Amino acid sequence: MPSARSVPSLLPSSPTVEDLVRHGAAEFERAGLAYGHGTDNAIDESAALVFHALGLDHADAEAAYARRPAAGDVGRALGLLRERIERRVPAAYLMRRMWFAGLEFEVDERVIVPRSPFAELIEARFEPWVDPAAVRRILDVGTGSGCIAIACAVAFPEARVDAVDVSPAALEVARRNVDRHGLGRRVRLLQGDVYAPLADVDRYDLIVSNPPYVSDEEMAALPEEYRHEPDVALRAGGDGLDVVRRILAGASRRLTPGGVLVVEVGNSDERLERAFPHLPFVWLEFENGGGGVFLLEAGTLQE
């Protein structure tokens, strides 16, 4: 893989895959693109699009870099790189797919691009915080593409998962992903606000959520790429805590006695601590980067 530094922009007449990736990265840097939807630098972003356009496998990257694609394929890759620049659209929307917790998901502009650090927690089956063998019911609030709900269903094969979203459009995407992963019998999609679509008797061993948590001020400063994502998926009022407050308020009634609540709040973590100084938030640490995810045990929550 080439380094992100000093990428040349001149493209040979019959470029290799590596030439295309370097060219794309140079153009991305020149255009001042923003990253953060699955990659964090120009080379990786360019490689994702070039490999996608050429149907190449990242597992075979070394051999792929030396190939010289046919002229038509080069044209297709260049077209995708150009679209990334001109429309400032996240690469995942151009590819209409994204990987999360080792699984592939369909995505489009009805849902945010999956990128939550939740993937790492799910792959570790939330240990040591929960006993995976005891988890029978899971609730995902704000499911979007369904990535967290579906990855949980895969990680906990004995569990049933309810996945709520206020956006009917997002749930259409989630439906496609549930079907794609053959989980229609264990993942139930429900439309409504936070806990509203649940029955009175529904209780969960694990409630997970990556809700909207961006404040109005932060929204105004987001790069163009984020404006392709649904506003309802990011914006959460003046302090970014509108939805998190409702999740906290109803959690004790929705958790089993030994259950846990795990919620991503990103940069709103300090505002949350100030708003709820009495709650014993456990802030989780991640090996793969990311943060701003808290855990609370059922016993510490009150309605």
Ligand X SMILES: C[S@@+](CC[C@H](N)C(=O)[O-])C[C@H]1O[C@@H](n2cnc3c(N)ncnc32)[C@H](O)[C@@H]1O
Interface ranges with ligand X (CB under 6 A): 111-112, 114, 116, 141-145, 147-148, 164-167, 170, 193-194, 210-212, 232-233, 243
From the CB of residue 267, how many other CB atoms can be counted at a distance below 10 Å?
A: 13
Shortest distance in whole angstroms from residue 222 CB to ligand X = 13
Please give the distance of CA 246 from its chain centroid, rounded to a whole number.
21
- Cβ at position 66, least distance to ligand X in Å: 35
- Which of 46, 209 has the CB closer to ligand X? 209
Q: How far is the CB of 263 from ligand X (least distance, A)?
A: 11
- Cis before 128? omega within 30: yes
CB closer to ligand X out of 18 and 242:
242
Q: Identify which of residues 143 and 268 has a Cβ nearer to ligand X in the complex.
A: 143
Residue 109 or 273: which CB sits closer to ligand X?
A: 109
Compute the residue count for the chain: 303
Smallest distance from ligand X to CB 187, Å: 13
- Start-end of H helices in the chain: 17-31, 42-54, 61-65, 71-87, 91-95, 118-123, 147-155, 168-180, 216-221, 231-234, 242-254, 269-275
Supply the minimum distance, in Å, between the C-beta of residue 16 and ligand X. 35
Closest approach, Cβ 129 to ligand X, in A, equals: 19
- The residue among 7 and 170 lying less far from ligand X, judged by its C-beta, is 170
CA distance 13 to 87: 26
CA-to-CA dists, residue 252 to 96, 199, 260, angstroms: 37, 15, 9
Nearer to ligand X, 10 or 199 (CB): 199
- 158-191 in b/e burial notation, b at 16+ Cβ within 10 A? ebbbbbbbbbeebbebbebbbeebebeebbbbbe
